[in-house]
Amino acid sequence: MMENQEKKKIVLSAIQPTGTPTLGNYLGALKNWKNMANDYNCLYAVADLHSITVRPEPADLRRRTLEMYALLLAIGLDPEKSIVFIQSMVPEHAQLAWILDCYTQFGEASRMTQFKDKSEKHPDNVNVGLFAYPVLMAADILLYQTDFVPIGADQKQHLEITRDIAERFNGLYGNTFKIPEPFIGKAGARVMSLQDPSKKMSKSDTNVKGFISMLDDDNVIMKKIKSAVTDSEARVYFGDGKDGVNNLMGIYSCCTGKSFEEIEQEFDGRGYGDFKTAVGEAVIEELRPVKEEYARLINDKAYLMQCAASGAEKASCFASRTLKKAMKKVGFIQLDK
């Protein structure tokens, strides 16, 4: 499938199945994934191998993985046009990760800020998987000779170590892996918490009013938007010290395509009540088709499993070429198949 489009650059995007993504995840990244498929050869993965560093309940992990896979299809990713797969169904990820573990320095891995943060949060379970997590991420990327990886600021370090590992391996054995670049596409909205607009919207927020889940009920969405923090000025415009209003304007702009100037004109002389209602309605409309398609897909497990099997087969076919190349370079004996 990828060969006949060889001229297009390859983009890999992955998301962990750790609960339903937020409106922030959607407007900031997922919404753009669908459009990327028009210009690039895209691979989209549910990164379930990365999820077991915190030892989830097996039944929960299975359910969440399938839900996340359904959600990726629901946002409009076409499994005929792109490779949409579940990471653990492609064994090459774990195989290449072990090889790359042996080409990653302990000092490099221990400098990863995410490892430090997570070790402090879960001191009772600082496992080797958590430590080697960036190397598995490097394997995810390098397996597909990926040109570009869409990443947030918190993943920048992981892409840097991926590049370092690839350059070290290539330096020792000749050109094996493509050196990936960060994907600088159309900037998605940076959506902040509705209750504390100095913080990014996050599904792990202890205050559930701070975030909107992509599958939230329409009434819940409207309620959360209406209770969003603003200020006492009661004027809709973008400015310093108006973090709450600025955030709502960003969300409204992303859902309607209106510029900040147009939004300011639309709500000139109108209070925050009208503005919040309009933002709530825009968000509900934005998420409606995704929620409807998700509801249809999640009830068709046979179709989801068929798509997942097909995606895994395509991904494996692609990944095995890189893995064989790497195995040959380091000196493993290979069977002729």
> Which domains are assigned to the chain?
3-188+301-330 (3.40.50.620), 208-295 (1.10.240.10)
Residue 257 makes CB contacts below 8 A (sequence gap 6+) with none
Residue 286 pLDDT: 97
**pLDDT digits 0-9 by tens, 78-131:** 999 999 999 999 999 999 999 999 999 998 988 888 777 777 777 888 888 889
Beta-strand ranges (E) seen in 125-275 are 148-149, 181-182
Residue 174 pLDDT: 96
Catalytic hit among 9, 81, 203, 324: 203
Cα 223 to Cα 217: distance, rounded to the nearest angstrom:
10
The confidence band for 337, taking pLDDT boundaries of 50, 70 and 90, is low
Q: Quote the mean pLDDT of the chain.
A: 92
Catalytic hit among 200, 224, 242, 276: 200
DSSP labels, 76-126: T--TTTSEEEEGGG-THHHHHHHHHHTTS-HHHHHT-HHHHHHHHH-TT--
203 belongs to the catalytic site: yes
Residue 87 pLDDT: 98
**For 222-226, what is the mean pLDDT?**
97
67 within 8 A of 214, measured Cβ to Cβ? no
The confidence band for 35, taking pLDDT boundaries of 50, 70 and 90, is confident
Q: In 3D, which of 103, 30, 97, 17 has the Cα closest to residue 58?
A: 17
Higher pLDDT, 1 or 187: 187
Place of tokens 């599904």: 203
Residue 158 pLDDT: 87
Cα 312 to Cα 165: distance, rounded to the nearest angstrom:
25
**For 203-230, what is the mean pLDDT?**
95
118 belongs to the catalytic site: yes
Q: In 3D, which of 202, 194, 201, 188 has the Cα closest to residue 279?
A: 194
| Phi, psi angle pair for 305, to nearest 5° | -70, -35
Helix (H, G, I), strand (E, B) or coil at 192: strand
Kindly tell me if the per-residue pLDDT of 298 is higher than 70.
Answer: yes
**For 136-150, what is the mean pLDDT?**
96
The pair of structure tokens assigned to 30 is: 């997922």
Residue 152 pLDDT: 72
The confidence band for 294, taking pLDDT boundaries of 50, 70 and 90, is very high
Residue 188 pLDDT: 61
**For 323-331, what is the mean pLDDT?**
97
Cα 90 to Cα 331: distance, rounded to the nearest angstrom:
23
Residue 117 pLDDT: 77
81 belongs to the catalytic site: no
Cα 143 to Cα 72: distance, rounded to the nearest angstrom:
21
